[in-house]
C-alpha cells in the first residue's frame, strides 16, 4: 500500500512525462528534455519502493531522453541513454521474461544501430542490428511473424551496411532473409511488394555477379527479369532502367559462358531499353549505351567477327565524342581510352593516336594522363611507328 506522498510523486512524474511528450511533439526538444530529466529523477526515487513497477517506467523515460537527444543532434548522449535503458530492461527480463521487455530491448538496439549507421560506423551498426534481431527471436513464433515489417527494415539495413563493408556472406544472408519475408507477404492476387521483391533480387544477383558467381547471378537475374516483365505490362516506363541493367548483366554472363545466341538477344533487348531511356535523359543513359557498344565490340572480337567488332568500337568512340561535348572532364579521358583500344584491339591505324594526344594535353601531369600516354608510347613501339 502506497502512502500519500508516494502517490503524489507518481502523479507528478506521470504529469511531467506527459508534458515532456507534448513538448517533444511540438518540436521543442530542449524543454522536453528538462521535463524528462525531472520525471526520471522522481521515478528513480520511487523505484526504491517498488522496482518491478517503476524500473520499466525509468527505462521508457531513458528512451525518451535518447529520442530528444537525437533531435538535438547529441547522438553520443542518445546512445548512452539507450544503453542505460537496455541494461535495466535486460535485468528485468532475466527476472520476468515478458514480450513487452523483448520489444523494448529490440527497439533500443535498433535505435542505437540507426544512429551508428547514419554516422557511417557500420561495424557498430551491424552489431546492434544483430542484437535487435536476437531480441526479436526470443518472441513466440506468432509474435515474431507479426514483427515482419520491423524485421524487414533491419535486414534491409544490414544488407546495405554489410555490402558497404564488402562482407559477401553477411550481405547475402540479409538478402535471403528479406526474400523469405517477401515470400510470406506476397500473394497471387496482388502486386504489392513485387516491386520491392524485384529490387532485392536484382541486388542479390548483382552481389553474386560482383563476386564472380556467374551461375547463381544468372539464375537470380532471370527470376528478376520474370517479375519485371510482368510488372512492366501495367507500367511500361517505370521498370525500364532495372530491365535494361538486368538484361545487360545477363548478356555479360551468357557471353562468359559462350552462349552467344542468348547473349546477343539480351544485349539487343538491353540496348532497346537504354535507347528509350536516353530519349528522355540522354546525359544520364547515353554512357550506358556506350558501355553496351563496348561490350558488343568485345563480344564480336571473341568470335573473330572483326568487321562487326570494329563497327561497334567506332560506335563507342562516337558515343564518347558526343558525351565529351556535355561533360568534357568526365568523358574526354574515356574517349582517349577508347581511341587507344581501337589501335590495340581493333586494328585501327596509329594515326588516330594523334587525336588522343591532343586531348591529353589538357590533362598534363594527372595520373590517368600518364598511364594513357604510356600506353600510346608502347603501342607506337610495338608497331615500329616512325614519327
Q: Helix/strand/coil (H, E, C) string of 300-336?
A: HHHCCCHHHHHHHHHHHHHHHHHHHHHCHHHHHHHHH
The maximal CA–CA distance of the chain, rounded, in angstroms, is 105
Please give the pLDDT value at position 190: 61
Which range among 57-61, 62-66, 271-275, 347-351 has the greatest average pLDDT? 271-275
Contact 43, 61 (CB under 8 A): yes
Residues carrying CATH 1.25.40.10, the chain: 1-96, 188-280
- Please compute the mean of the pLDDT values over residues 112-122 and round it to a whole number: 96
Provide mean pLDDT across the span 372-382: 89
Q: Is 174 exposed, middle or buried (0-12, 13-18, 19+ CB in 10 A)?
A: buried
Angle between helices 328-345 and 306-326 (to 10 degrees): 160
Domain 188-280 in CATH 2.40.110.10: no
Average pLDDT over residues 141-149: 91
- Considering the domain 1-96 in this protein, what is its CATH number? 1.25.40.10
Cell of 112: 542505437
pLDDT for res 385: 47
What is this structure's pTM?
A: 0.85
Q: Tell me the C-alpha distance between 64 and 111, whole Å.
A: 12
Amino acid at each position: 500500500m502506497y502512502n500519500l506522498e508516494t502517490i503524489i510523486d507518481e502523479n507528478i512524474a506521470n504529469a511531467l512525462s506527459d508534458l515532456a511528450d507534448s513538448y517533444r511533439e511540438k518540436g521543442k526538444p530542449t524543454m522536453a528534455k528538462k521535463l524528462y530529466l525531472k520525471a526520471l529523477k522522481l521515478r528513480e526515487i520511487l523505484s526504491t519502493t517498488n522496482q518491478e513497477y517503476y524500473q520499466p517506467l525509468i527505462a521508457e523515460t531513458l528512451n525518451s531522453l535518447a529520442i530528444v537527444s537525437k533531435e538535438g543532434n547529441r547522438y553520443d548522449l542518445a546512445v548512452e541513454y539507450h544503453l542505460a535503458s537496455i541494461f535495466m530492461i535486460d535485468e528485468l527480463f532475466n527476472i520476468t521474461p515478458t514480450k513487452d521487455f523483448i520489444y523494448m530491448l529490440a527497439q533500443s538496439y535498433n535505435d542505437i544501430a540507426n544512429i551508428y549507421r547514419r554516422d557511417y560506423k557500420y561495424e557498430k551498426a551491424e552489431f546492434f542490428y544483430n542484437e535487435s534481431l536476437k531480441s526479436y527471436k526470443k518472441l513466440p513464433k506468432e509474435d515474431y511473424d507479426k514483427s515482419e515489417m520491423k524485421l524487414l527494415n533491419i535486414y534491409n539495413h544490414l544488407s546495405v551496411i554489410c555490402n558497404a563493408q564488402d562482407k559477401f556472406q553477411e550481405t547475402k544472408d540479409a538478402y535471403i532473409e528479406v526474400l523469405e519475408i517477401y515470400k510470406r507477404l506476397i500473394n497471387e492476387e496482388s502486386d504489392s511488394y513485387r516491386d520491392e521483391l524485384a529490387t532485392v533480387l536484382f541486388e542479390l544477383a548483382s552481389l553474386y555477379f560482383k563476386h564472380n558467381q556467374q551461375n547463381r547471378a544468372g539464375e537470380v537475374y532471370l527470376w528478376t527479369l520474370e517479375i519485371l516483365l510482368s510488372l512492366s505490362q501495367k507500367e511500361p516506363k517505370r521498370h525500364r532502367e532495372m530491365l535494361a541493367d538486368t538484361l545487360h548483366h545477363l548478356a555479360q554472363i551468357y557471353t562468359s559462358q559462350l552462349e552467344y545466341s542468348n547473349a546477343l538477344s539480351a544485349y539487343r533487348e538491353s540496348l532497346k531499353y537504354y535507347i528509350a531511356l536516353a530519349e528522355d535523359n540522354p546525359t544520364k543513359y547515353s554512357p550506358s549505351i556506350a558501355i553496351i557498344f563496348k561490350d558488343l565490340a568485345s563480344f564480336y572480337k571473341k568470335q573473330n567477327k572483326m568487321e562487326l567488332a570494329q563497327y561497334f568500337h567506332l560506335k563507342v568512340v562516337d558515343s564518347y565524342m558526343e558525351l565529351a561535348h556535355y561533360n568534357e572532364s568526365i568523358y574526354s579521358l574515356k574517349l582517349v581510352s577508347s581511341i587507344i583500344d581501337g589501335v590495340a584491339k581493333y586494328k585501327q591505324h596509329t594515326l588516330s593516336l594523334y587525336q588522343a594526344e591532343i586531348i591529353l594535353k589538357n590533362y598534363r601531369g594527372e595520373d590517368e594522363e600518364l598511364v594513357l600516354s604510356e600506353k600510346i608510347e608502347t603501342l607506337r613501339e610495338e608497331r615500329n611507328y616512325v614519327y
